[in-house]
Homo-oligomer: A and B are copies of this chain.
Amino acid sequence: MIATATAPSRPRYVQIEESLHALLETGGYRPGDKLPPEPELAQQLGVSRATLREALRSFEQQGIINRKQGVGTFVNLRPPYIESGLESLESIEMLLASRQILPTFLQRTVCTEAALPKAAQRLSIDEGEPLTVVTSTVTVAGSPVAYLLEVTPEGFVEAAAIQSAATSLLHLLLDNRESYDIAYAVAHIAPVHGTEAICGALGVGGQTPLFFVEQTVYSAAHQPRFYSRNYYVPNFFDFHIIRKREI
């Protein structure tokens, strides 16, 4: 039925979630539609009702479905823009790819530096440890749209892979799920004026407010693996966030 995939010990209710997800996506269910009754759905997925309900609970938590006692389970309307806001960790390549845009990386430089105190703290390593620093200017149709400065401990990513890649370092990490166990990032955002060098690279005047994102990227075990300081040209990007009420 479902490919056993990489981890054979993954609990069934997680696998069922994936089956359910596929069912909702490709099974022709649209917002507002009613799902089959739980006993039927459980049989259809080859699982007990209790296990199915754990998966459904997770979906309900995410706001994908809506259960009502005595009535049924319904596919929710999705909030606008639910996907690909800032709350989802993506590389700039992924962001642009979803709009069928292919970026070019100019002036891509890769160098090794000793970690300064701030960088060392951020990556939980010792001062002076070697870091790999990648800087690049991202252009779309000839116009520069972003300036990236990306930092990771030397050796975390194979040097040859970094050199040969024509992508952002973050994309390299996210693209190889198995090798790098990237789970989330903490991003700080601010409006700034760029330095002369950055404004020059982006071809904007010194008075143009830039969108500055500084983020540290963590593994699932909360180990910092990477950080970046990126400058975006605001007119080209439209950043948004879904803000959910808590409690």
Q: CB within 8 Å of B: which residues of A?
A: 9, 11, 13, 50, 53-55, 57-58, 60-62, 67, 69, 77, 79-81, 83, 85-89, 174, 182-193, 207, 209-212, 215, 218, 221-222, 234, 238-246
- Determine which of B61, B79, B211, B221 lies in contact with A184 in the assembled complex, contact meaning CB atoms within 8 Å: B79
CB proximity of A161 to chain B, nearest CB, Å: 20
A61–B245 CA distance with the chains assembled, in angstroms: 17
When the two chains form their complex, are residues B245 and A182 in contact, meaning their CB atoms are under 8 A apart? yes
Residue contact A244 to B183, C-beta cutoff 8 Å? yes
- Determine how close the nearest CB of chain B comes to the CB of A233; give it in whole angstroms: 10
With beta carbons under 8 angstroms apart, the residue of B69, B184, B191 that contacts A210 is B191
| 13 residue pairs from A and B, CB less than 8 Å apart | A11-B67, A54-B57, A58-B61, A79-B186, A86-B241, A87-B241, A88-B244, A88-B246, A174-B245, A183-B245, A186-B243, A190-B234, A191-B209
B89 x A245 contact (CB < 8 A): yes
Residues in B whose Cβ lies below 8 Å from that of A189: 86, 189, 211, 239-241
Residues of the B chain whose Cβ atoms lie less than 8 Å from the Cβ of A67: 11
List 17 extra interface pairs beyond A54-B57, A187-B243, A191-B191, CB under 8 A.
Answer: A11-B69, A50-B50, A58-B60, A58-B61, A77-B221, A86-B86, A86-B241, A86-B243, A87-B242, A89-B244, A89-B245, A174-B245, A186-B243, A187-B241, A190-B211, A207-B207, A215-B243
> Within the assembled complex, what's the spacing in Å between the Cα atoms of A187 and B238?
10
**Contact among B57, B87, B185, B238 for A87, CB-based, below 8 A:** B87
Which of B69, B79, B190, B218 is A239 in contact with, Cβ under 8 Å? B190
Whether A87 touches B244, Cβ cut-off 8 Å, given contacts A57-B13, A191-B211, is: yes
Q: Would you call A240 and B186 a contact (CB within 8 A)?
A: yes
Cβ of A179 to closest chain B Cβ, rounded Å: 14
> Shortest distance in angstroms between A70's beta carbon and chain B's nearest beta carbon?
10
Do A209 and B193 touch (CB < 8 A)?
Answer: yes
Which of A61, A85, A185, A207 gathers the greatest number of chain B CB atoms within 10 Å?
A61
